[in-house]
Structure 1
Amino acid sequence: MTTPDTALFAEFTAPSYAEWRAEAERSLKGVDFERRLIRKTYEGLMIKPLYVQEDVATLPHLDSLPGVAPFLRAATATGYLVQVWQIAQELPYPTASAFNQAIRSDLERGQTAVVLLPDLATRLGLDPDQAEVGMVGAGGTSLATANDLAQALAGVDLSRTPVYIEAGLVAVPLAALLLSALRESGTPLHALRGSLASDPLGSLATAGSLPVALPQLYAELAALTGWAHDNAPQLATLNVDASIYHNSGGHAVQELAFAMATAVDYLREMQAHQLHIDTVAPRLHFSFAVGANFFMEIAKLRAARLLWSRIVAAFGGSTASQQIHLHARTALWNVTRTDPYVNMLRSTTEAFAAALGGCESLTVAPFDTVFGLPDEFSRRTARNMQLVLQNECYLPQVIDPAGGSWYLECLTDELARAAWGLFQDVEKQGGMLAALQAGLPQAQVAATAAERAKSLASRKDVLVGTNMYANAKEKPHASHLPDYAAVQQERAGQVAAQRTAAPTAPLASADLLASGAPQGATIGTLTQALRGNTEASSVSIPPLHLHRLAEPFEQLREAAYAHAEQHGQPPLVFLATMGPVAQHKPRAEFARGFFEVGGFAVQDGGILETPEAAVQAALASAAPIVVICSTDDTYPELVPPITQQLKAAQPEVQVVLAGYPQDQIAAHQAAGVDAFIHLRANVYETLTNLQQTIGVRA
C-alpha cells in the first residue's frame, strides 16, 4: 500500500545498520567507535548510539499486552484511560490541625490522594512527652491519639479518597487508633483504600538498628495483613521503600534488586505465619524514587513490574497477585539548596518519567523541600506539575507510551536481567536481612555514590546552579523548619491530658485490630501494651548514608557566605586578563564560572598588557587568589614574571593558571603557580584546597 509518506521517500533506499556504522566511523576520523559513541552507565549497562529492530527481535516480553502478565506494559488493559495515576503530595506539617488545613485545601485544588506521614516519635511508638526534643514533628505529623487521626482526616471522604500512611514500626497500634477514628466518622472499613504499611528492613537499613525484634514486628504485620484481607481488602500493610537506596546514591540495578530481595523476605515471613501468597502480594506496595536519568527511570519502573510478576508467579501466586503496586516520588538525591528553582525543572522530567513508566501514584517534591516545610506556592507548583501532565500533555490518552521503543525495550530487558542477577546474589547470601548484616547493599550503594560524587567533582556530571552555571548573585536561603521545642511542649500537654493509664494486661495484635484503641489510649501506651518487655532487636548493621549529591558543593558556598557575613564580602578572586579580549576571554569566562561555583566574588582585570600592569592591578585588588588568563602560547613569557613579582610582594597570595599546558606544568610550578584550573580538573577538590589555604574554611 502506497501512502503519501512512502511515496515521498520512495526514491531513497533505507540504509542498513552496517552502512550507517560505516558512515559513522568515517565521520569519527579514526576515533574508536565504541569509545566515542557507546556510553557506560553507573549500572554497568552499555548504551548504544542507535537501536534497530534486530535489537528487540528476541526479547521475550515484546508481545505482551497491557493488563496481562507480566504486566510490563501496564497493570490494567486500559492503562491510565480509566484510572489515571493518583496525585499523592506529601504534607509534612507537625500538627494534625495544620495538616488538615493543608490537605483539605489541596484536595480542592487537584490532589487526589492523602499521604499522611507520622513524625519520628509516632513511627517509633513514643508519646510526645516520652520523646526527645527534635523527634516530635520531625518529618511529619504528631499522631499520638485517635483524636489526632480524626482531626488530621476531618472533612476528607475516605470512602472516595485513598489514604497512604507510613506506619514506621507501629503499624498495629496506629491501625488501632485509625479504627477508632474511623468509627467516629462512620467510614466503612471495606471502602478504605490505600495503605497503612511498614517496611521493617527499610527502617533497619536507614537506622542501623531497631528498637524491637524483627520476629515481633513480623508477627504484628502478619496479624495486620490477615486482618486487612478480611476487613479492609483495599488496604496495603507492607511497603518496600526502594527510594532509600536511590537517595543514598545507588543506581537502578541496585534499587530493583534490593527492593525485590526485601519483598521476598516479607513474602517468606508472612508465609511462615500461615498467610497465603494471594493474601500477601496484593497488600505489598513498592515505592521508588525517580531521578534525573530519564530513560533509565522509565525502564526501571517497567522492569519492576516484570520482576515482581516473575517472583510472585514463582511463589505460586495468581495472575491477579502478580500485578505490582507502584508509587513513585521525585528523588531527593539531586535536589539542591543552591539555585533551588532549578529543582522545579528536575521534578518536571522526573514526574514525566514516572508517568511514562506507569506509576499508580506519584509524589512530586516541592522545589523548596530541602529547606523544611513547603509553603502554599511550592505546594501548588508541585501539584500543578502533575495536573499539567494529566490534563495538558494528554499522557492518560496513550496506554504504555514507552512501549515499542527499541531503545526503551532493550533498556528494560537489560536492566531487569542485571537486577535479577544482583537479586540472586542477595539470595545466595541468605536473603535481604543476611545481606544487610553482611553489608553487601550498603557497600555497593556507597561505591556507586562515591563514583557519582567523583563525577560531580570533576563536572563530568552537572547539577545546574551547583557545580556549574552558579548564580553569583544568589543569597543564602532561609530554612523554614518547625520550632521543635514548642511543638513538643504543646503536643506533650495535649496528649498527657487525654492519656489514661496503660492497659495492665498485655494486648494481642488481633485484640487491638478487633476492638480498636481503648478510650484514652495513645501510641505510646498501645505500643507498650502490645510489646510489653520485648527486647530490642539484637541486629545491628552499618546504616545507609542518606544524603544529597550536592551537599559538598553546598558546603563550599555556605563557607563563602559565612566569610562574607564576617568580612563584609565573599572571598575575592582577581582575574589577570592578559592581552586583547580575544586572547584572554575564553579562559577568563571559564575561570569566572569555576570560582563562582565556590561562592567566590570574581573581579575582572580588564585588558592588561604587561606583567607589571597585571601585578599592580592584582595587588590593588587585595585578592588572595589571582588567576592568570591567557593562551598556552603566551604563558611561558607571562607566568614567571607575574608569579614571581606577586609572591615577592605578597607571599601568601595563591596564583592559579587557567589552563593545563602539559609541557609547561613543571616550569610554571617552579615559578610559583599553586594550582591549575581546566576542563578535567577536580573542581571540588581545587576549590576546597583554595578555601582552606586562604582561611575561608578550616
Structure 2
Amino acid sequence: MSEKRIFSEFPPISKDEWEERIKEDLKGADYEKKLVWKTIDGFSVQPYYMSQDVGDAAPANHPGEPPFVRGYNSKGNDWKVIQQINSEKIKEANEFAINAIERGADGVSFKLCFSDKQEDVSNLLKNIDLSKKQIHFHSNHSYSVLAELICNEAKKRNYNAADLAGSFNFDSFGYYLLHGEYYNSHEDNMNELKCLIQNFGKRLPNYKLLNINGQHFANAGASVTQELGFAMASAHEYLTEMLSLNLPLEEILPKIRFTFSIGPSYFLEIAKFRAARHLWATIVEQYTKDINLQKTTIHGISSLYNKTLYDLYNNMLRNTTEAMSASIGGADEITILPHDFLLGNETEFGDRIARNTQLLLKEESHFGKVADPAAGSYYIEMLTQKVADFAWKQFQTIEENGGFRKAMESGLIKAEIEKTNAKREKDIAMRKMVYVGINNYPNTKEHFENPDSFLSKKQTEGNALQMKRGASNFENIRLQTDSFVKAGSKRPAVLLCQFGNLAMRNARAIFATNFFGIAGYEINSIVNDNSVEEGVKEIVKEKPGIIVLCSSDEEYTTLGIEYLKALKQTNIPVVIAGNPGENETLFRENGAHSFIHVRTLALDALEDYQKVLSVK
C-alpha cells in the first residue's frame, strides 16, 4: 500500500478544528485555567503544540552538531552512572565504592575531608581500577594537594595519569553561596584555581577541575531558568577571571563541568538539560569558533528540594522520574542520591536502589541507545526554547548588574531566589503543590523515634543561600508532634463526629483525616445516627483534643448547631469540615472554633492547632 493511499484515509486536522473540539469537551470551563500551565518563571505552556507553533524552536541540526541542543553524541547517550559515597570513614567509603563499581556504577564520588596523607588516599582507592572507573571528589579542603596525591597514587600503581578520569568540586562561588563567605579570599581562590589548572590540567587531562554547582540554586528553591541562568553567569565569571590571569582559553574550557539539580518537573527538566548545552555553546562562541571548546560536561544530581523525611519510599519514585529526565535530556553523568539520603546514614540498600534506578533505564529500557529521544516532540522543543530564552534573560540581568560575583556579594542572587521560593512555599502551604505523604495523603501510622535531630535548623545569615526542602515546614509540624510524644505526652487526638448525609459525611471525614493526619495526630471517628445527646456522650467519653463535625452544609445549620451548643460546655475546640460561606458568623456564635476546607491555608491552620493543643 502506497504512503499516499495510507495518509488519504487520515486527512490533516487544523488547529482551529482541534480547538473547537477541546472547547466542546470543556463544556464551558475556562480554557486558560483548565489547560494552560503557568510555570513559576511566568511563562505559559499550552496543552499541546503543532508544527506551525514550533517554527524555529526545533533545531535543524543533527545530534553532535552545534549548538548541541540535541546532545554531543551523534549516536546514543551512554551516560556515566555515578554513585555518591557519603561515608567519611576511609575503610567504609572504600567498601561502599567497590560494591558500587562491582554492581554497575561507572564511577564514584567521595567526600574526602579527612586527610591529606598519601596513605589515606591509597586506602580509599584500594582495589579500584583507576583507569576504567571515574573517581570524583565532591568535597575536599585542598584540591591541589589532592591532585598531587592522586598523581602519586597513579605512579605508584603503574597507571598513566592521562588514563584517569573524574572531577574535583572546586567552586569558590559555590562555597560562598553555602557559607556567605569565601574560604580564603576571592583573590586567593582565583589564584588557587589558576594553579590547579596550570599544574594539573595537562597531568590529569581527563579530570574536570572546576565544577559549577547549579544544584545549590535549585536546592534553595530557585526555578529551572534561575538555576540555568545563574549557573551560566557563574561559569562565565570564572572564565573571565582565568582569562584575566593570562590562562589560555583552550586550557580553561575543557576543565569546566556543570552540576545541575534534577528536579520534579519532568518535561521542564528535560528541556533544561537540552537548553544548558545551547546556552553554554552560545556564550563560548563569543570567544572561539572551535566547536570542541564549545562543549562541556553536564552532570545531573537528584534534587534535595523535593525529597521528604516521611514516606521515604516516595523518594524512590521521585528519583526514577528525575533519572529519566536527565537521561532523556542528554546528561553526560548522573548521580541519583539514595531515597534515605536525608536520614544521614549511608546504607547498602539505599545505594543499591539508587544505582539500579539508572541501570534499569540503561540496560532494560535502553535509554542510552538513542541520541536525543525528545527530538521532534513539539511540546519539548517549545519548552526547550522557552527555558533557554528565560534563562538567557536571567544571565543578561546578572551581567548587567556587574557579573555573577557582584550579584552574589550584593545579595541579588539570594533575593531573587527567595522571591521564587516564597511562591513555591505558598503553593505548598495551600496544597496546590502536593507532596505525597507530607501535605497530602499522610501515612498516619508513621512516627519518628528521634524527631529532634531532624527539626529544621535556624535560618542562614548574610548572603548564604538557605538550603531548604519544600516539605520542611509541614514536616516540622509533624516532627514537633513526634517530639511532644517522645517527651512523655500523649499523642494529640482528633475525633471525627459523622452524622447526617452519608456521602457528605464520608467525604468530609476523609478530608479531615487527611488534613489532621499531616500533623501526626491520632485520628478516631464515631458515626452517630441517633440523638445529638447520645453523640455528645460518646464524644466526651473519647476525650479528644479536637472535635471535627463531618456532615453536609444543610445539616450543619440544623444538627450542626445543636452539636455546637451541646459541646460548648466541654471546652474542646470544635472544627467544622467544610466551607461555612455566609453561615460562618452563625457557626462561630454557637461555638465553632474554626473550619477546614480546600481553600484553607493548611500550614498556617495546623500551626495554630499545634498552639491550641500545646504542642511545641
Shorter-normalised TM range: over 0.9
Among 273, 294, 298, the alignment partner of 1:301 is: 273
Most deviating of 459-468 and 668-677: 668-677
CA contact (8 A) 1:571 1:601 kept: yes
Partner of 1:355: helix, strand, or coil?
helix
Partner of 1:623: helix, strand, or coil?
coil
Among 215, 236, 251, the alignment partner of 2:187 is: 215
Question: Residue 583 and residue 193 in structure 1: after superposition, are their counterparts in 2 closer, same or farther (change >3 A)?
Answer: closer
What's 1:75 paired with? 72
Q: CA deviation at 1:167?
A: 4.9
CA contact (8 A) 1:245 1:254 kept: yes
1-structure distance, mates of 2:540, 2:273? 58
What's 2:296 paired with? 324
Query: What whole-Å deviation, never above 9, does each CA across 1:297-340 have from its counterpart, x for those lacking one?
Result: 00000000000000111122521011121001111111111010
1-structure distance, mates of 2:383, 2:93? 41
1-structure distance, mates of 2:488, 2:97? 45
Question: Residue 661 and residue 29 in structure 1: after superposition, are their counterparts in 2 closer, same or farther (change >3 A)?
Answer: farther
CA contact (8 A) 1:628 1:658 kept: yes
Q: Does 1:51 align with 2:49?
A: yes
CA contact (8 A) 2:220 2:468 kept: yes
Gaps in structure 1 of 5+ consecutive residues: 123-141, 482-539
- Aligned pairs for 1:147-296 (under 5 A) are 147-168=119-140, 170-296=142-268
Query: What whole-Å deviation, never above 9, does each CA across 1:604-644 have from its counterpart, x for those lacking one?
Result: 11234333233222211110100010011111112322122
Q: Does 1:63 align with 2:35?
A: no
- Aligned pairs for 1:320-469 (under 5 A) are 320-469=292-441
Identity of aligned residues (%): 32
2-structure distance, mates of 1:91, 1:34? 46
CA contact (8 A) 1:159 1:192 kept: yes
2-structure distance, mates of 1:634, 1:109? 62
1-structure distance, mates of 2:486, 2:139? 43
Q: CA deviation at 1:569?
A: 4.2
What's 1:600 paired with? 521
Q: CA deviation at 1:479?
A: 9.0
Q: Does 1:620 align with 2:556?
A: no
Q: CA RMSD in A?
A: 1.9
Taking structure 1 as the reference length, what is the TM-score of the superposition?
Answer: 0.84
Among 583, 589, 611, the alignment partner of 2:510 is: 589
2-structure distance, mates of 1:314, 1:608? 77
Q: Does 1:668 align with 2:591?
A: no
Counterpart of 2:578 in structure 1: which amino acid? G
2-structure distance, mates of 1:644, 1:437? 60
Counterpart of 1:24 in structure 2: which amino acid? I
Q: Does 1:143 align with 2:141?
A: no
CA contact (8 A) 2:500 2:555 kept: no
CA contact (8 A) 1:643 1:655 kept: yes
What's 1:25 paired with? 23
2-structure distance, mates of 1:449, 1:667? 38
Question: Residue 446 and residue 168 in structure 1: after superposition, are their counterparts in 2 closer, same or farther (change >3 A)?
Answer: farther
Question: Residue 15 and residue 380 in structure 1: after superposition, are their counterparts in 2 closer, same or farther (change >3 A)?
Answer: same
CA contact (8 A) 2:580 2:595 kept: no
Most deviating of 329-338 and 71-80: 71-80
Q: Does 1:570 align with 2:491?
A: yes
CA contact (8 A) 1:169 1:198 kept: no
Q: CA deviation at 1:475?
A: 2.7
1-structure distance, mates of 2:505, 2:563? 15
Counterpart of 1:43 in structure 2: which amino acid? D
CA contact (8 A) 1:371 1:478 kept: no
Question: Residue 478 and residue 401 in structure 1: after superposition, are their counterparts in 2 closer, same or farther (change >3 A)?
Answer: farther
CA contact (8 A) 2:75 2:369 kept: no
Q: Does 1:691 align with 2:613?
A: no
Q: CA deviation at 1:15?
A: 2.3
Query: What whole-Å deviation, never above 9, does each CA across 1:365-399 have from its counterpart, x for those lacking one?
Result: 11110001221111111111111000000112211
Greater relative contact order, per chain length (Cα 8 Å cut-off, separation 6+) = 1
2-structure distance, mates of 1:174, 1:480? 37
Query: What whole-Å deviation, never above 9, does each CA across 1:638-696 have from its counterpart, x for those lacking one?
Result: 23221222122x22x11111000312112112222111111111111111111111112
Partner of 1:362: helix, strand, or coil?
strand
CA contact (8 A) 2:508 2:551 kept: yes
1-structure distance, mates of 2:547, 2:283? 61
Q: Does 1:631 align with 2:603?
A: no
1-structure distance, mates of 2:529, 2:142? 69
CA contact (8 A) 1:437 1:541 kept: no
Q: CA deviation at 1:474?
A: 1.3
Question: Residue 472 and residue 107 in structure 1: after superposition, are their counterparts in 2 closer, same or farther (change >3 A)?
Answer: same
2-structure distance, mates of 1:669, 1:658? 14
- Aligned pairs for 1:506-517 (under 5 A) are none
Most deviating of 21-30 and 442-451: 21-30
Query: What whole-Å deviation, never above 9, does each CA across 1:192-240 have from its counterpart, x for those lacking one?
Result: 2121240110110110012311111111111211233332211111110
What's 1:518 paired with? none
| Paired residues, number | 609
Query: What whole-Å deviation, never above 9, does each CA across 1:444-502 have from its counterpart, x for those lacking one?
Result: 11111111111111110111111111111113266999xxxxxxxxxxxxxxxxxxxxx
What's 2:96 paired with? 102
Q: Does 1:553 align with 2:474?
A: yes
Counterpart of 2:42 in structure 1: which amino acid? G
Partner of 1:316: helix, strand, or coil?
coil
Partner of 1:633: helix, strand, or coil?
helix
Counterpart of 1:670 in structure 2: which amino acid? E
Partner of 1:231: helix, strand, or coil?
coil
Q: CA deviation at 1:34?
A: 2.0
1-structure distance, mates of 2:289, 2:530? 79
Question: Residue 29 and residue 581 in structure 1: after superposition, are their counterparts in 2 closer, same or farther (change >3 A)?
Answer: closer
CA contact (8 A) 2:501 2:551 kept: no
What's 1:646 paired with? 567
Partner of 1:230: helix, strand, or coil?
coil
CA contact (8 A) 2:194 2:242 kept: yes
Most deviating of 248-257 and 441-450: 441-450
Counterpart of 1:581 in structure 2: which amino acid? L
1-structure distance, mates of 2:214, 2:298? 11
Q: CA deviation at 1:568?
A: 6.1
Partner of 2:202: helix, strand, or coil?
helix
Partner of 1:387: helix, strand, or coil?
helix
Among 40, 43, 46, the alignment partner of 1:42 is: 40
Q: CA deviation at 1:29?
A: 3.4
Most deviating of 580-589 and 191-200: 580-589
2-structure distance, mates of 1:373, 1:279? 39
2-structure distance, mates of 1:101, 1:270? 38
Gaps in structure 2 of 5+ consecutive residues: 454-460
Query: What whole-Å deviation, never above 9, does each CA across 1:80-107 have from its counterpart, x for those lacking one?
Result: 2xxx111111111111111111111211
1-structure distance, mates of 2:320, 2:504? 40
CA contact (8 A) 1:96 1:143 kept: no
1-structure distance, mates of 2:596, 2:307? 27
Among 69, 84, 88, the alignment partner of 2:82 is: 88
Among 101, 110, 114, the alignment partner of 1:116 is: 110
